[in-house]
């Protein structure tokens, strides 16, 4: 694992990796990801991110939440069909040897904006993704409706104001990720220089 990868390479080379091996990831390596997340910027130095690391049987809490959420939405399904649905949804929790739920616990201090607390937690996730890539790991940042469901909050004992901003799946990639594509930054940039000839 190469943690000396240049930052520009880590940024351009990182990909969402959905298929990873079941090999366990050493605790010290996971802690490097958490430490990277912990150094994200936050307004008013609130550090609002929290990390719930699930490995081994610890992923069952996530599996149960996925199953319960799916069952709640499947009002016209019962018996064997319902059990199969629950099992299929529960299996999502075991698609990687490590799953990290990244949570924002917004500060209630005067002057702190809730939306900025979310921005800080999202920055923490990005730091973790970049560090994982630099270490030769594959990650995918999963969200979607189940992540925001009250049952998912219950799985981690979250408070009313807390929210999950991502479920980060971590493992050793099964294959080499494909090349990435981006439209040029110039296509999305407006230069405001105050000069008459600045429109290029």
Question: Per the annotation, where are the binding residues?
Answer: 14-16, 43, 141-143
d(C-alpha 45, C-alpha 173), whole Å: 35
Indicate the helix (H) or strand (E) that contains 124: helix 114-134
Pick out the residues of the known binding site for FMN. Answer: 14-16, 43, 141-143
CA distance 200 to 194: 13
Helix (H) or strand (E) holding 166, with range, is strand 163-171
Helical ranges in 135-174 per DSSP H: 145-148, 150-155
DSSP codes, 54-91: EEGGGGHHHHHHHHHHHHHH-TT--HHHHHHHHHHHHG
For residue 174, give the DSSP letter: S
SS3 state at 104: strand
Cα separation, 165 vs 147, in Å, equals: 8
Helical packing angle, 27-38 and 114-134, nearest 10° = 140
């Amino acid at each position: 694992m190469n943690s000396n990868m240049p930052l520009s390479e880590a940024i351009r080379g990182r990909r969402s990796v959905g298929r990873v091996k079941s090999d366990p990831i050493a605790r010290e390596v996971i802690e490097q990801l958490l430490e990277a997340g912990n150094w994200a910027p936050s307004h008013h130095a609130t550090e609002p991110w929290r990390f719930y690391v699930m490995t081994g049987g610890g992923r069952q809490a996530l599996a149960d939440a996925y199953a319960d959420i799916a069952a709640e939405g499947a009002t016209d399904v019962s018996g064997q069909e319902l059990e199969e649905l629950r099992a299929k949804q529960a299996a999502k929790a075991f698609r990687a040897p490590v799953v990290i739920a990244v949570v924002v616990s917004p500060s209630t201090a005067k002057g702190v904006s809730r939306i900025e607390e979310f921005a800080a937690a999202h920055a923490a996730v990005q730091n973790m993704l970049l560090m994982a890539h630099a270490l030769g790991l594959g990650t995918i940042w999963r969200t979607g409706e189940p992540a925001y469901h009250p049952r998912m909050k219950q799985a981690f004992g979250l408070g009313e104001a807390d929210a999950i901003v991502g479920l980060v799946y971590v493992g050793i990639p099964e294959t080499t990720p494909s090349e990435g594509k981006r439209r040029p930054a110039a296509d999305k940039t407006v230069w405001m220089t105050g000069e008459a000839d600045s429109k290029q």
